[in-house]
Structure 1
Amino acid sequence: MSGELTRPRPQVSRWLVQALLVLVGAAVLGSLAGVVWEWVWTPPSGVAYQGRFVLDENGLPGEFSGTGWYVVVSAAAGILLGAGAALLSRDGEVVSLVAVALGAVLAGWLMFQIGHSLGPPDPAVLAASADDLTAINGDLRVGGAGVHPHVYTFDSAAFVAFPAGALLAFSALVLALTPRRRTGD
Structure 2
Amino acid sequence: MTTRRSALFRGALLQGVLVVAVLAVVGALAGVVWQWLWTPPSGLVVNHDWVPLNAIELQQEFSATGWYVVVGVVAGLLAGVVAALLLDAAPLLTLAGVLVGAALGAWLMSVVGIALGPADPEVLAKTAEEGVHLPMALAVTGKSPYLAYPVGALLGVIMVFIGISGHRRHPQPAPQPTPAPELSME
Q: TM-score range by the shorter chain?
A: 0.7 to 0.9
Percent same amino acid at aligned positions?
A: 42
Q: List per-residue Cα deviations over 1:134-153 (Å, max 9, x = no partner).
A: 11110111015xxxxxxxxx
| Structure 2: stretches of 5+ with no match in the other structure | 172-186
Indicate the RMSD between aligned Cα atoms, in angstroms: 1.9
Q: Distance in 1 between matches of 2:127 and 2:146?
A: 33
TM-score (normalizing by structure 1) = 0.83
1:40 maps to 2:27? no
1:55 maps to 2:52? yes
Note if contact 2:19-2:87 (Cα within 8 Å) is conserved in structure 1. Answer: no
Alignment match of 2:138 (pick from 137, 140, 143): 140
Three-state SS of the structure 2 residue aligned to 1:20 is helix
1:161 matched residue in structure 2? 148
Aligned length: 166
Q: List per-residue Cα deviations over 1:8-28 (Å, max 9, x = no partner).
A: 433322221211111111121
2:21 matched residue in structure 1? 24
1:105 matched residue in structure 2? 103
Q: Distance in 2 between matches of 1:84 and 1:6?
A: 30
Residue 99 of structure 1 aligns with an amino acid whose one-letter code is G
Shift of 1:89: 3.2
1:153 matched residue in structure 2? none
| Structure 1: stretches of 5+ with no match in the other structure | 145-155
Note if contact 1:122-1:138 (Cα within 8 Å) is conserved in structure 2. Answer: yes
Q: Distance in 1 between matches of 2:4 and 2:92?
A: 22
Q: After superposition, where does 1:6-17 map in structure 2 within 5 Å?
A: 8-17=5-14
